[in-house]
Amino acid sequence: MAKNKILVVDDEQLIRWSLEQNLKKQGYEVVTAASGEDALRMVKEEEPNLMLLDIQLPGMNGMEVLEKVKEINEEIIVIMVTALGILETAVKAMRLGAFDYINKPFNLEELAIIIKKALETGELKREVAHLRSEQTGRYGIDQIIGSSKHMEYVKTMIEKIAQSDASTVLVQGESGTGKELVAKAIHYESARADRPFMAINCAAVPETLLESELMGHEKGSFTDAKATKKGLFELADGGTIFLDEIGDMEHGMQAKLLRVLEERRFRRIGGTRDITVDVRIVSATNKDLLQAIEDKVFRNDLYYRIQVIPISLPPLRDRKEDIIPLVDHFVAYFNREFGKTVKGVSKMAEKFLLEYPWPGNTRELKNVIERAIILENEETLLLEHLPQELVSKAGSAGSGPFSFRIPPEGVDIEDVERELIRQALEVTEGNQSKAAKKLNLGIDAFRYRMKKFGFLE
């Protein structure tokens, strides 16, 4: 593991030497500079993790050095050292980006604690930044796959919402269309990305527990409340809360949610004080909420409060031009996940994937590709690698492996036989043995018919 590098900047040679010896004993790599000009040169050449910077330097003083260091590399941690002990100067240094300050003469043990804390804080900030970047890459708008007209509109809406102050968004669409992915894209493309994204499935939590999950509770507020618990609204403060399947929320909870939406404050169960929060609320449902209002199972006022900005996701069957790009995306994703090298799907497999109605939408397509890549070891996913029920339904929906009615004028039986041989070869990607089995023929009988109809020289 690489050592943390510390740059000691002080015009007194004895102090530089003393600090260098002490810090090296603690396991740090140490470089020194006697002036601000030397310090800036070494910042560029040595790229230290942390600086001990004396404020009183000849020529360029420590405050000027601090400003320029932050222009060169704002991630360098700077601890100011001063013999003056002037609070005003220390406060200004902190405002310019210094992590902390220490007065001369300093206690080496105290300095060691400050340095350790500073480096740990810097490492934590880098990890958070890395995770934030990773999350943005994983859930950003680039992960919304599709170039169909409707999906381009959806992506435009996501960008506009993310950059706005819109506090309530409603995402509607069938199960599996990617409602949570849209909610995450809105969050991670926005200024709220460094704050929490909290999600809950309203249909999966009983009403008696849902209020506690969302609002939290105070210790002793009910039998099992052995400790105070913050709810998701409180935990998501500054970020986004995703209320999935809001159409299944019980009527009593709907009224409590409406108050939070209108007033942006709530009380924990058993609490006596209001808690104010700043959250963006993205709700989602696969239900027709207007019909639910007519059926008296969803509040009219809550509906109009959550659908200030609505986004409608089309089912996969209505955007067939997005199916193959999604397939390519999932193949690449599961190649990385499972260490496979699948190059894609065959033309015949593509044909059936396009014809299948996808009742489970994008989620179902993802599962089909995942299963095929896990179970198969070939470079190309073939028709036979797809689930049999998919092939059967796709075939019955359109030009399947065999769909034929005798026309009024009749038909030549040999034309039918020729077509069966052709389709069997097409379905099996030219594999004669598998094609013969499709027609319940021996390989010799099948090859005879191939020659007979000109499929084999």
Q: How many helices (H) and strands (E) does the chain have?
A: 19, 16
For CATH 3.40.50.2300, list the domain ranges present in the chain: 5-131
C-beta of residue 449 within 8 angstroms of C-beta of residue 438: no
Instruction: Select from 3.40.50, 1.20.120, 1.10.10, 1.10.357 the CATH code of 413-452.
Output: 1.10.10
Mean per-residue pLDDT, 393-403: 57
pLDDT recorded at residue 200? 96
**Domain at 5-131: CATH code:** 3.40.50.2300
User: pLDDT digit string (tens) for 39-69?
Assistant: 999 999 999 999 999 988 888 988 999 999 9
Tell me how far CA of residue 135 lies from CA of 184, 196, 249, 333, 433, in angstroms.
Answer: 9, 11, 29, 15, 48
Residue type, 305: R
Q: For domain 318-397, is the CATH number 1.10.3720.10?
A: no
pLDDT recorded at residue 339? 93
Mean per-residue pLDDT, 74-100: 81
Q: Is the pLDDT of residue 35 over 60?
A: yes
Per cent of the chain over pLDDT 90 is 60
Residue 49, classified by CB atoms within 10 Å of its CB into exposed (0-12), middle (13-18) or buried (19+), is: buried
For CATH 1.10.8.60, list the domain ranges present in the chain: 318-397
CA dihedral 334, 339, 341, 344 (to 10 degrees): -10
In 3-state terms, what secondary structure has residue 412?
coil
Instruction: Select from 3.40.50.720, 3.20.20.150, 3.40.50.300, 3.10.310.40 the CATH code of 143-314.
Output: 3.40.50.300
Q: How many CB atoms lie within 10 A of CB 75?
A: 11
For CATH 1.10.10, list the domain ranges present in the chain: 413-452
Look at the block and give the residue holding tokens 């955007």.
319
- What pLDDT band is residue 2 in, cutting at 50, 70 and 90? low
Q: Is the peptide bond before 325 cis (omega within 30 degrees of 0)?
A: no
| pTM summary value | 0.67
Q: Is the pLDDT of residue 400 over 50?
A: no
pLDDT recorded at residue 37? 93
Strand blocks (E) in 251-357:
265-266, 275-276, 280-285, 309-312, 344-345
Mean per-residue pLDDT, 148-175: 95
User: pLDDT digit string (tens) for 200-217?
Assistant: 999 999 888 999 999 999
Mean per-residue pLDDT, 260-280: 93
C-beta of residue 238 within 8 angstroms of C-beta of residue 264: no
Q: Is the pLDDT of residue 30 over 50?
A: yes
Q: Is the pLDDT of residue 337 over 60?
A: yes
C-beta of residue 9 within 8 angstroms of C-beta of residue 31: no
Q: Which has more pLDDT, 394 or 25? A: 25
